[in-house]
Amino acid sequence: MIDCQNILDKTYQKVRAMENMGAVASYIPELAKVDPAQFGVCLITKTGEKFMAGDSDIKFSIQSIAKVLSLSLVLSKLGDKLWQRMDFEASGSAFNSLVQLETENGIPRNPLINSGAIVICDVLISELANPKEEFLKFLSSITGYEVNFDPTIAASEKEEGYRNFALTNYLKSFGNIDNDVEIVLDFYFSLCSIKLSCAELSNLFLYLANDGVHPKSKKQVISKSNTRRINAIMSTCGFYDEAGEFAYRVGLPGKSGVGGGILAIHPGKYAIAIYSPRLNPKGNSYRGMKFLERFTSKTESSIF
Ligand code: DON
């Protein structure tokens, strides 16, 4: 991409100069402690070029971005059988909404809302002998770098996790959770607690920009067709009730987390990660959305 560092720097400076609106997530007490002014970006191309600005090496809690990683693992294990337990339709609702589950008999709308990601944790617990260890091993095998859970963040979320306990109990009442609710949520909170920097996050996710193969480690993480499916699900479901807005303004498959991270993929070209912890009312990074809208406009890299 021509002049990528220049466009990245200019976009970064422009967004940095704007008022930093929104609020840091506080329903997970540990997340409320971060410095709201942190702002970093890293883009890595599938050919290995790397462009960075700001706090691109500061680690943050990736939260819901981890749902794409658990979806990658479960799809490679179960294939289409996964869709007996959930759908792959846009929800148009908040990430932690309970309402659709009632009328849809405990079948989550998609794997990227909390209910879908919790069912995936249940499936992985049934499929794997040591789910937490094997999940971390799967992540570390992608790049060769170690990835770990953050027990303080996981415990902090559990302490106030009434909504996710309600969702999981409700799913279980429909027969869509096989394992113990506490065990399923312990795994789910651990996934969400993973901390990575923008540089690490964009590197980890490069397989989604390269037909399922990580271009540096050469590991075939998932199949080519599962890569296409996951990118499709990210573009329709990655931003919950703001998925349309993200497709319209940014035009890339992506996933956000309440820790303030956004990960987006240009299939065949690059992975980009942005971190800025103030969130807009839909729970997505305020500056992350602003940055990506400008960046994909300037680089003309919307996929649409
Ligand atoms: O379950 C939760 O509420 C959080 N661990 C994750 C939510 C999240 O990141 C939603 N993303 N924007």
pLDDT tens, residue by residue, 250-301:
999 999 999 999 999 999 999 999 999 999 999 999 999 999 999 999 999 9
Distance CA 174, CA 142 (A): 35
Asked whether the beta carbons of 265 and 205 are under 8 A apart, the reply is: yes
pLDDT tens, residue by residue, 105-121:
999 999 999 999 999 99
Q: Which two tokens stand for residue 115?
A: 């209910």
Q: Residue 82: its pLDDT value, please?
A: 98
At residue 127, the 3 state secondary structure works out as helix
Asked whether the beta carbons of 33 and 250 are under 8 A apart, the reply is: no
CA 217 to ligand 1 centroid distance, Å: 29
From the list 145, 137, 275, the residue with the least C-alpha distance to 197 is 275
Query: Which amino acid is residue 269, in one-letter code?
Result: K
Q: What is the residue-averaged pLDDT of the chain?
A: 97
> How distant, in Å, are the alpha carbons of 29, 151, 161 from that of 185?
17, 13, 9
Q: Which of 12, 24, 46, 67 is the catalytic position?
A: 67
Look up the pTM and report it: 0.97
Rg (CA), the chain: 18
Q: Which atom of ligand 1 is nearest to the CA of 117?
A: 1
At residue 54, the 3 state secondary structure works out as strand
Q: How confident is the model over 3-32, as a mean pLDDT? A: 96
Q: Residue 55: its pLDDT value, please?
A: 98
Asked whether the beta carbons of 160 and 27 are under 8 A apart, the reply is: yes
Q: Which two tokens stand for residue 289?
A: 């959305």
Q: Residue 1: its pLDDT value, please?
A: 56
Q: Which two tokens stand for residue 54?
A: 């700001």
Per-residue pLDDT at 2 exceeds 90: no
Q: How confident is the model over 182-209, as a mean pLDDT? A: 98
From the list 291, 159, 190, 304, the residue with the least C-alpha distance to 244 is 304
pLDDT tens, residue by residue, 130-146:
999 999 999 999 999 99
Residue nearest to atom 1 of ligand 1 (CA): 114
Per-residue pLDDT at 201 exceeds 70: yes
Q: Which atom of ligand 1 is nearest to the CA of 282?
A: 12
Q: Residue 59: its pLDDT value, please?
A: 98
Given pLDDT bands bounded at 50, 70 and 90, which one contains residue 203?
A: very high
Which residues lie across from 137 on neighbouring strands?
A: none
Ligand 1, residues 64, 96, 285: which to mutate, most atoms within 8 A of Cβ? 64
Per-residue pLDDT at 47 exceeds 90: yes
Q: Which of 64, 115, 156, 285 is the catalytic position?
A: 64
User: What percent of the chain clears pLDDT 70, i.e. is strictly above it?
Assistant: 99
CA 276 to ligand 1 centroid distance, Å: 15
The ligand 1 site (C-beta within 6 Å) comprises: 63-64, 95-96, 114, 157, 164, 192, 256-258, 283-284
216: left (phi over 0), alpha (psi -120 to 50) or beta: alpha
Which residues lie across from 196 on neighbouring strands?
A: 60
Q: Residue 289: its pLDDT value, please?
A: 97
DSSP calls for 247-268: HHHT-S-EEE-TTSEEEEEETT
Q: Which residues contact 119 (CB under 8 A, 6 or more apart)?
A: 85, 86, 108, 111, 171, 176, 177
Residue nearest to atom 12 of ligand 1 (CA): 257
